[in-house]
Structure 1
Amino acid sequence: MLKPGTPAPDFALQNAQNQTFRLSDLRDKKSIVLYFYPKDDTRGCTAEACSFRDQYEVFQEQGAEVVGVSSDGTDSHQSFATKYQLPFVLLSDPQGQVRKLYDVPKTLGLIPGRATYVIDKKGMVRYAFNSQLKPLEHVQNAIKILQELAQQQ
């Protein structure tokens, strides 16, 4: 896991609409809640995505964009986003390159891990959370960190 205070590595991945998304395009504009998850439309990942969806307005009020990343393809992401009405960006990382860049650990050495980063407007990692078994904690923890960042400004 990247440590808080580390510059967030820039990357470019395809979103569900097959458009290129670059992390650096949001720099100086918004904070970013970047979350990595194992697989579209599985129980834990769906619960996590729907929790981010249900709190999306809170993230927007805090000046943040939510971005989800998994190895699933763009078609899978589009289906997942449509099925659960997900208003945020889902990115396809089929080779796991960005997952490696962010040093997201695997579960039991096999399954892609679950991690959430809060990145400030300047592109610095302010918070890193790794929990395989508690996907819903990622959402509340990220909101808390964004609120703390807002108070510091």
Structure 2
Amino acid sequence: MVAIGDRAPAFSLPASNGQTVESEALGGQPYLLYFYPKADTPGCTTQACDLRDQKQTLGTLGLRVIGVSPDPVDKLDRFAKKYGLDFTLVSDAEHELADLYGTWVEKSMYGKTYFGMERSSFLVDAEGVIRAIWRKVKPADHVALVTEAASEL
């Protein structure tokens, strides 16, 4: 599991709009890597739309936003189109990146346990170093936390 001050793990994953996102190409610009359980569900939609609505503020801070879920790319494309999400959504179907960040965790609901994505975010600076981590973040609080931390980069 990563910690503040660690180098962000390298990755290359398929993304929305037919893109591939590679960590090497992110150098020189800070980014927010946010992990969410499932596209087009209430909490994930709230979180994504808040990020969309604050894109100008985050952009002023030079911050690129990248959402990561286990959903397939076609579902991410539909999610982005439905809500006008103009940032990158990455498919981590095999939870390779989630494993590196420690966000693929055991969960329980109605007495059953299963593995799924923990809603967590990582702020990475322009040199590729993790500067802030929010685990089990509440969707409604997310953007304010990110904006405050990003303004200190």
TM-score under structure 2 length normalisation: 0.91
- How far apart, in 2, do the equivalents of 1:141 and 1:3 lie? 17
**Would the aligned equivalents of 2:95 and 2:104 in 1 still touch at CA under 8 Å?**
no
- How far apart, in 2, do the equivalents of 1:105 and 1:138 lie? 19
Unaligned runs of 5+ in 2: none
Residue identity in the other structure for 2:36: Y
Residue identity in the other structure for 2:127: K
Partner residue, 1:123: 128
Partner residue, 1:9: 9
Runs of at least 4 residues off by over 3 Å: none
Residue identity in the other structure for 1:19: Q
Partner residue, 1:63: 62
**Identity, % of aligned positions:** 36
TM-score under structure 1 length normalisation: 0.91
**Would the aligned equivalents of 1:2 and 1:128 in 2 still touch at CA under 8 Å?**
no
Unaligned runs of 5+ in 1: none
Q: Secondary structure at the match of 1:17?
A: helix
Q: Per-residue displacement from partner, 1:72-109 (whole Å, max 9, x unpaired)?
A: 01100000000000010000010000000111152336
Partner residue, 1:135: 139
Q: Per-residue displacement from partner, 1:130-152 (whole Å, max 9, x unpaired)?
A: 125x1222211111011111xxx
**Would the aligned equivalents of 1:116 and 1:129 in 2 still touch at CA under 8 Å?**
yes
**Would the aligned equivalents of 2:30 and 2:62 in 1 still touch at CA under 8 Å?**
yes
**Would the aligned equivalents of 1:67 and 1:88 in 2 still touch at CA under 8 Å?**
yes
Residue identity in the other structure for 2:147: I
- How far apart, in 1, do the equivalents of 2:64 and 2:149 lie? 14
